[in-house]
Structure 1
Amino acid sequence: MYLVSRRNVGALRARLNTHFTFENTKTVLFIYVVLIQSLKASRHLRARGLTGTAREFWRWISHHVIMLVLRLPAARKKVQIEMDKAKMGIEDKLVPKGADVTRHLSLPPEGKSAEWILQEMVKMDEEMGNPGWKNGKLSGAVYHGGDELQKIIVSAFERYSVSNPLHPDVFPAIRKMDAEIVAMCLRLYNNPNGAGTTTSGGTESIVMAVKAYRDWARAVKGITEPEMIVPSSGHAAFDKGAAYMGIKVHTIPIDPETRKVDIKHVKRAINGNTILLVGSTVNFPDGNQDDIVALGALAASYNIGLHVDCCLGSFIVPYLEKAGLANGEGGEYALSPFDFRVRGVTSISCDTHKYGFAPKGSSVIMYKDAALRTYQYYVNPDWPGGVYASPSLSGSRPGALIAGTWAAMQYLGSDGYLESCRSIVTCARTIANTIKSSIPELYIIGSPPASVVAFGSRDPSVNVLEVGDAMGKRGWHLNGISGPPAVHIACTRLTVPLVDTFIADLKDSVEDAKTAPGGKGNMVQVYGLGNSSVVGPTMVGRLATVFLDTMYKA
């Protein structure tokens, strides 16, 4: 009887111990989850601020309430009618209509002659109403280095049309040119001992940098939930790269006057998961520059990366000092340090296909050293097809583009780029100064040091997006931006001889917007809708999706 009782007590104690162990484990797990979520919430709150977090939460609530309302049959029908109208409007502009339009929807039974192909291309241009980019009324888009350079690029294409740097042993000259393009850019940005690769454009350069920092932080610092800090004026490619790479983005506001990112806010947003800070020289929306020196000091202090986006600045900002334009005019338009000489800068992106006048599809991503570049690479040693290794997103790449880029850089040389910088920036500052002195309804956003000028409206009776639409009726293809609503022009070599025409047309467009506003132009509809309500961005997103669908409608 004693043995049985002792045995029962032991079993009871074991059950109690198991129960307590299970309960303790649950408690520990619960506390752990609460602590982790509290840490994440505090980091989010610290980065956004109390006001920003509240505003973000309010937008989220408002958005979902409105989306629920839009599910009602009447509301859904109304939205669908408007979207169908917008879709038809987009298709009317992009897709040719009529029975007389020749469509090539399947392969021809027999191959066509070279003469037929060229004639058909001319016919397509005529059918589509090709606006003719050589009239120069463009904001960026076409960075034309002249007819002679175009012939040289075409010759390079012809010589290397089948080349592919994926096979450097087959195309050794392309490998050499690829490496030399990177080397020339590294020296231009004062880091001759650095490293880099060519890419297909600024977006790929930025996405590759984001990938490199993610993998670096994982390998070196053990970070598995990476975060990056980007100014609100930073290029959308950073958000795109973060979406691809699974990285949380903290978007930091910029000063409304200087247009530079708020450094104190950046510092507040840095935490143990931060892998990267971002700055621009210059940014796309309004052509202004962030305080790279201050960002570099933070990056160095916290041992995190700093990427400087010079995709748009490219072959302009490195020549401003040599052109005597870096100090601005009376303190305005001044350029501050931005390249690898700045402590803390660890990577820079530069588009050779912009002010480098290389063929489209060409950019360079540069790193402080080769060790950091290795985190950009993709290597698979176990593939049955052999060891697979690529420096960037692409496997096969068009060697002809590399040859064309190399040829453009050799043709222009440092003196050619210096003269381009001087003429283009002088053109941009002429526009900015004229707006300040002669068009009181408008104002210049910030103090842009390079080739981009953005202007908003200070007159309540003038909607600046209406001004942009009026400029469109005069043949100009400009960019509408938001936050605040504005219009920008990225001056190029094509703009230089038309600067007086631009100013005259701008003055007339301001009068049009003031006296006879239409409210139906592209800028007013798209950018106005985006700012009109919490559901605006969603509608603009749907329009953008329709636009992308239409791009592939034959």
Structure 2
Amino acid sequence: MDPIAKGKLAVESLKSFVNNSLSNKEPWQIVTMTTGAVLASVWFFDFINQDESVPSRLKKTVFRLARKIPAVARRIDSEMSNMRKTFEDEVRHRNEKIDYITNLPESGKNREEILKQVNAYLELGDYDWKKGYVSGTVYFHNPELIELLTEVYGLASYTNPLHPDVFPGVCKMEAEVVRIAANLFHGSPSACGTMTTGGTESILMACKAYRDYAKFERGIKHPEIVLPKTAHPAFDKAALYFGMRIKHVPVDPATTKVNIRAMKNSISKNTCMLVGSVPNFPYGTMDDIEAIAELGRRYNIPVHVDACLGGFVIVFMQKAGYKLPPFDFSVPGVTSISADTHKYGFAPKGSSVVLYSEPKYRHHQFTVTTDWPGGVYGSPCVSGSRAGGIIAACWATMMYFGLDGYVEATKKIVSTTKKIEEGLRKMKGIFVFGTADTSVVAIGSNDFHIYRLSDAITKRGWNINALQFPPGMHLCVTYMHTAEGVAERFLSDIQEELEKILKEPVKEVGGKFAVYGMSQSVPDRSIVGDFTRCFLDSMYYTPSQPNGTANSKSVV
């Protein structure tokens, strides 16, 4: 019997079976069974096609139910209370030199009083970032530049690019910053973009643009972002804000670069953007942008390069004498780039750029409302009103450094990074994650818990970033680290603490890093999330005052 005849026979057999099975059923029973089967099928399809995998949701359900057990709930509440107290105690310790002001003073203070109090506030803290004891955070410090930018910001402090007819000069400065950045990243004359308030907003805007591009130009109803697990959490934030889905792709454990095969396998009909980092924040390594862009071209998917951290290092590295694989608009298939001018662009905090290869993508970043009684409203990014002073200060910073200034700074930063990396690789008991491509060096250990080293050098005054999954720590090298003796001091402190630790390698982690280490072992990540919310709450701590009063005496 040929296959077609077999198929017809099977269909007839199935029809006969169904008819015989339902022959003694009432019509209403058949309708009810059919409706129930359809609804069950829809529910099951929705269940297996949610953002999270079935095992992940089942695990969360188990943990959620477990937290309802009285004994477990009491234990968690007790730990949360202790954690909240720990965070608040740290805030009180950092701010104990100055009383809190929680009510407006009866009369306004004069200039001298205000400046004295501001200076006292700015001196709070345990880390000397001006002498290079801090990883990242502040990327350049020069009194001459600060004086210039203070004056520039003051001149433009009341300007607002939301009103281009009133403040055309500020809009011109923004356009020039964007064009300068686009040219540095080898954009064509069609390349475009906007300034934003920082890397997170730049990433948010790219995700919003590609979500809408996928929806209106490609008919994708459930857009997905495919990105390395090392990509910045701003992409997860964008997915939460914009109703998108995330697919995290593993990285190669040796190189810490995204696994291209795994990225290819993660692509689906709903993929609206692919992401690569140059470099990523945890390890400072660069994803293979050429390979990612090739996937983008093959499947007609936009590719975003996140250069927020090191963007204004990598664009100058070739002129500084360092070779890098292609990573920008010179790579066919790269359609957008985010880069922070307030990091290695050395501009004041609150400035970044998001760039596109073509205006069609930027158009989907814009928000336009045409039917509002107040008139037609258009906004390029999240904010409506924006600080013209920040735009002017960013523009002024670029004018201050010029190409030669940035290239010289890049030489110092990258050479210092390589010097530190070379020194760390010679030390016993630790290893370097991947290769420090730009300005970040990350280390771990197979011989002891690396957080012991983090804790030890913190006590020596260093503020270092802790990593997890696997545990590690990194130093983000800034211009302050290029000062004479800073790199040597860091390597010497690491070596001295290593020698102490390796005498007792199995000793447990102590101090605040014990809490951080513990958080990695907690299977219920919602508890870790609650701890994090407690930490964020502590940032807004002010002491309780009876009858709503507060001590507002001047700083001594």
TM-score in terms of structure 2 length:
0.87
- Rounded to whole Å, the distance in 2 between the matches of 1:72 and 1:427 is 54
Deviations 1:511-553 (A, max 9, x none): 3433465622333321x12321312x33321121011111112
1:525 partner letter: V
Shift of 1:455: 0.4
CA distance in 2, matches of 1:301, 1:99: 59
d(CA) in 2 for partners of 1:249, 1:66 = 22
Q: Equivalent residue for 2:510?
A: 520
Q: Which residue of 1 aligns with 2:432?
A: 444
Distance 1:531 1:345, change over 3 A: same
Aligned equivalents of 2:431 and 2:102: distance in 1? 49
Matched letter for residue 92 of structure 2: V
Deviation per residue, 1:51-94 (Å, 9 max, x gap):
xx9xx655554444344333333332222222222211211111
Q: Which of 226, 230, 236 is matched with 1:229 structurally?
A: 226
Q: Quickly say closer, same or farther: Cα 1:309–1:185, change in 2 above 3 A.
A: same
Corresponding residue for residue 292 of structure 2 = 295
In structure 2, relative to structure 1, the CA distance for the partners of 1:98 and 1:214 (3 Å cut) is closer
Contact conserved, 1:470 with 1:512, CA < 8 A, in 2? no
- Tell me which residue corresponds to 1:344: 333
Q: Measure how far apart 1:104 and its partner are.
A: 1.6
| Of 426, 436, 455, the match for 2:415 | 426
Distance 1:140 1:189 in 2: 23
Tell me which of 481, 492, 498 is aligned to 2:467: 481
1:403 to 392, 410, 426: 392
| Residues 1:386 and 2:382 aligned together | no
Paired residue type of 1:475: G
The within-5 A match list for 1:170-189 is 170-189=166-185
Q: Provide closer, same or farther for how the CA distance between residues 99 and 512 of structure 1 changes in structure 2, counting only shifts above 3 A.
A: closer
Whole-angstrom distance in 2 between the partners of 1:152 and 1:20:
82
Mapping for residues 137-536 of structure 1, pairs under 5 Å? 137-193=133-189, 194-326=191-323, 335-437=324-426, 439-459=427-447, 462-497=448-483, 498-515=486-503, 517=507, 519-526=509-516, 528-535=517-524
How far does residue 101 in structure 1 lie from its aligned partner after superposition? 4.4
Q: Residues 113 and 81 of structure 1: is their aligned pair in 2 closer, same or farther, counting only changes over 3 Å?
A: same
Q: Given that residues 227 and 247 in structure 1 are in contact (C-alpha distance below 8 angstroms), is that contact kept between their aligned partners in structure 2?
A: yes
Which residues of structure 1 form unaligned runs of 5+?
Answer: 1-15, 45-52, 327-334
Q: 1:263 and 1:530 mapped to 2: Cα distance? A: 30
2:534: which partner in 1? 546
Q: Given residue 198 of structure 1, which amino acid in structure 2 is its aligned partner?
A: M
User: 2: CA distance between counterparts of 1:263 and 1:100?
Assistant: 52
Give 3-state SS (helix, strand or coil) of 2:480's partner.
coil
Amino acid at match of 1:175: C
Q: Where do 1:31-70 residues align within 5 Å?
A: 33=42, 40=49, 58=55, 60-70=57-67
Is the CA contact 2:130–2:141 (under 8 Å) kept in the aligned structure 1? no
Q: Which residue of 1 aligns with 2:70?
A: 73
Q: What RMSD over aligned residues (CA atoms) do the two structures have, in Å? A: 2.6
Q: Tell me, in whole angstroms, the C-alpha distance in 2 between the residues paired with 1:284 and 1:551.
A: 23
CA deviation after TM superposition for structure 1 residue 135, in Å: 2.1
Q: Retained in 1: the 8 A contact 2:127–2:133? A: no
Tell me, yes or no, if the aligned pair for 1:467 and 1:512 is still in contact at 8 Å: no
Contact 2:208 2:242 in 1 (8 A): yes
Mapped contact 1:444–1:453 kept (Cα < 8 A): yes
**Partners of 2:30 and 2:531 in 1: CA distance:** 57
Tell me by how many angstroms 1:248 deviates. Answer: 0.9
Deviation of 1:124 (Å): 3.3
Q: Confirm or deny: 8 A CA contact 1:529 1:540 kept in the other structure.
A: no
Deviations 1:280-299 (A, max 9, x none): 00000110111111110111
User: Within 2, Cα distance between the matches of 1:23 and 1:84?
Assistant: 52
> Out of 108, 114, 117, which is 1:117 matched to?
114
Q: Residue 186 and residue 510 in structure 1: after superposition, are their counterparts in 2 closer, same or farther (change >3 A)? A: same
Equivalent position SS for 1:524: helix
Deviations 1:100-133 (A, max 9, x none): 842221222211100011122233346x446342
Letter in 2 for 1:486: G
Deviation at 1:245, TM superposition (A): 0.6
Q: Report the alpha carbon displacement of residue 336 of structure 1 after superposing the two structures with TM.
A: 1.6
The whole-number CA distance in structure 1 between the counterparts of 2:34 and 2:216 is 31
The answer to whether the 8 Å contact 1:299/1:344 transfers is yes
In structure 1, distance between residues paired with 2:443 and 2:131 = 23
Q: TM-score, normalised by structure 1?
A: 0.87
CA 1:223–1:98: 2 relative to 1, 3 Å: closer
Unaligned runs of 5+ in 2: 1-24, 543-556
CA contact (8 A) 2:128 2:461 kept: no
Give 2:135's aligned amino acid. Answer: S
Asked whether the 8 Å contact 2:126–2:461 carries over to 1, the reply is no
Match of 2:22 in 1: none
Cα drift, residue 321 of structure 1 = 1.6
Q: Which amino acid aligns with 1:456?
A: G
Q: Residue 95 of structure 1 corresponds to which residue in structure 2?
A: 92
Letter in structure 1 aligned against 2:127: P
SS in 1 for 2:68: coil
Q: Supply the distance in 1 between the matched residues of 2:157 and 2:398 (Cα, whole angstroms).
A: 19
| Partners of 2:144 and 2:117 in 1: CA distance | 25
Relative to structure 1, the CA distance from residue 253 to residue 139 in structure 2 (aligned partners, 3 Å threshold; closer, same or farther) is same
1:12 is matched with which residue?
none
The Cα of 1:337 is off from its aligned counterpart by: 1.0
Structure 1 residues 19 and 99, CA gap change in structure 2 (3 angstroms) = closer
Residues 27 and 541 (structure 1 numbering): CA distance in 2 closer, same or farther, change over 3 Å? Answer: closer
